[in-house]
Amino acid sequence: MEFTFIAPSKTIYKTGALDAIGKHIEGIGSRFLIVIDPVFEKNGTLSKLEKQLDALGIAHTSYLGVVGEPDVSNVDEASAQAIEFGCDVVMSVGGGSVLDVGKASAGVITNGTPVKDYLEYVGTGRKVVNPPLPFIAVPTTAGTGAEVTKLAVIGSKKEHFKRSMRDDQLIANLCIIDPRLCVSAPPKVTAITGIDAMTHCMESYATWKATPITKPLSLRGIELAGRYLKRAYDNGEDIEAREGMSLAAYMGGLAFSNSGNGAAHGLGMALNVYFPIPHGLGVGITLPYVMEINAEEDPTLYDPVGEVLLRKRFNTPGDGTKAAIEFIRELNAHIGIPADIKWLGASAEMARTMGEKCFGNSMSCNPVQLEAQKWGALFERLR
């Protein structure tokens, strides 16, 4: 057996952690770049954070430019701001986009702009040679797992690409998970990020690259997301549900960043070739179909998953797998994830092309490998 496991150096999981963040960040540095979602400036979270930094004598400058998907311009701007201010720490407070901009900036600040140089396929092959600035990740949604991964996905609205900057050194030095921060997420965001978390757990569970460390994380994450996603969607103030989902997202992130994802991620990314739908929506729509395809090859693949989701034992092999697939379909229906892509209006030509474009890291981790034509046929069925 052989595997590698990589994780943030330190994680603090505590409801209300942000209210007393001082004791966790003292000594890391003296000049902070705070990359933060503008929502948290409006609701007063940023000023509370700034007061705590002031009390510690930490100077700070904030970058509030990330709106929607993370863009190369965000990383280049934030890095320039940090260099001018003489920052020695980067802290991100926000969803996956904000975390990724901060993560990439921490690497670019010490290695030089522009960030595009470091991106896979579209860059110049430039590497992170100098150690990045210490990076503190504070997620405010439960889903993307960006707080634990060693890559930042950055796009360009101008040049129409979305690519990864990937390096072991980019992984956060400190991850602070405060489930209370997720309370501000509206139901739609809770649904889309939450099903992304569930998909990370499910795909990292089923992949042939799962390890003895990741598999239990995946299964426990599935159980938590199964129990709490509907509750968090129905009532955003349900703090127990937010705590459960934050934990599920963290476990799923740790699992998939060490074992890979699967075909729902490959197919979800292919949908983004034509349709700028949120990442979680694409993977959530395709997840039950991918589970079905995987189960055709191995009818008992998800039996333990069915048992933790339904909280019962199944006597007949395969029944747990069928129950797991049905559970995901019902979960999707409850939280408003569509059962197909009819509403997108994809053409037959698009379905065929998406079948070709779904290949990459995630697809290669899927337990079942199909030809492009077969994945294209799935898109054809869904459109």
Residue 243 in contact with Fe ion, rule: CB under 5 A: no
Q: Scanning residues 28 to 67, which ones bind Fe ion (CB under 5 A)? A: none
Listed residue (346, 353, 349, 300) closest to 325, CA to CA: 300
Region binding Fe ion by CB under 5 A among candidate stretches 63-71, 196-204, 316-324, 335-343: 196-204
**Gap between the Cα atoms of 59 and 29, Å rounded:** 9
Length of the chain as a residue count: 383
Beta bridge partners of 290: none
Least Å distance, CB 284 to Fe ion, is: 9
CB 100 within 8 A of CB 137: no
What number of other Cβ atoms are within 10 A of residue 44's Cβ?
Answer: 9
Least Å distance, CB 202 to Fe ion, is: 11
**Gap between the Cα atoms of 229 and 235, Å rounded:** 10
Residue 114 is encoded by which pair of tokens? 């522009």
Region binding Fe ion by CB under 5 A among candidate stretches 82-90, 192-200, 206-214, 314-322: 192-200
**Gap between the Cα atoms of 106 and 232, Å rounded:** 32
**Gap between the Cα atoms of 167 and 32, Å rounded:** 22
Region binding Fe ion by CB under 5 A among candidate stretches 10-18, 58-66, 193-201, 244-252: 193-201
Residue 147 in contact with Fe ion, rule: CB under 5 A: no
Residue 223 in contact with Fe ion, rule: CB under 5 A: no
**Gap between the Cα atoms of 303 and 287, Å rounded:** 16
Residue type, 99: L
Please say which residue, 134 or 367, places its beta carbon nearer to Fe ion. 367
Please say which residue, 82 or 354, places its beta carbon nearer to Fe ion. 354
**Gap between the Cα atoms of 300 and 331, Å rounded:** 21
Least Å distance, CB 304 to Fe ion, is: 22
Please say which residue, 196 or 223, places its beta carbon nearer to Fe ion. 196
Least Å distance, CB 143 to Fe ion, is: 7
Please say which residue, 60 or 103, places its beta carbon nearer to Fe ion. 103
Residue 100 in contact with Fe ion, rule: CB under 5 A: no
Please say which residue, 244 or 262, places its beta carbon nearer to Fe ion. 262
Specify burial of residue 68 (Cβ count, 10 A radius: 0-12, 13-18, 19+). exposed
Please say which residue, 88 or 196, places its beta carbon nearer to Fe ion. 196
**Gap between the Cα atoms of 216 and 211, Å rounded:** 9
Residue 196 in contact with Fe ion, rule: CB under 5 A: yes
Least Å distance, CB 6 to Fe ion, is: 18
Query: Number of residues in contact with Fe ion, rule: CB under 5 A?
Result: 1
Query: Which residue is nearest to Fe ion, using beta carbons?
Result: 196
CB 305 within 8 A of CB 299: no
Residue 76 in contact with Fe ion, rule: CB under 5 A: no
Least Å distance, CB 196 to Fe ion, is: 4
Please say which residue, 106 or 151, places its beta carbon nearer to Fe ion. 151
Please say which residue, 87 or 247, places its beta carbon nearer to Fe ion. 247
> DSSP labels for 160-181?
TEEEEEE-GGGS-SEEEE-GGG
Residue 88 in contact with Fe ion, rule: CB under 5 A: no
Please say which residue, 29 or 253, places its beta carbon nearer to Fe ion. 253
Least Å distance, CB 253 to Fe ion, is: 9
What burial letters (b/e) apply to 113-124, b meaning 16+ CB within 10 Å? bbbbbbbeeebe
Least Å distance, CB 58 to Fe ion, is: 33
Least Å distance, CB 145 to Fe ion, is: 7
Beta bridge partners of 164: 153
Residue 375 is encoded by which pair of tokens? 């994945």
Q: Where do contacts with Fe ion occur on this chain (CB under 5 A)?
A: 196
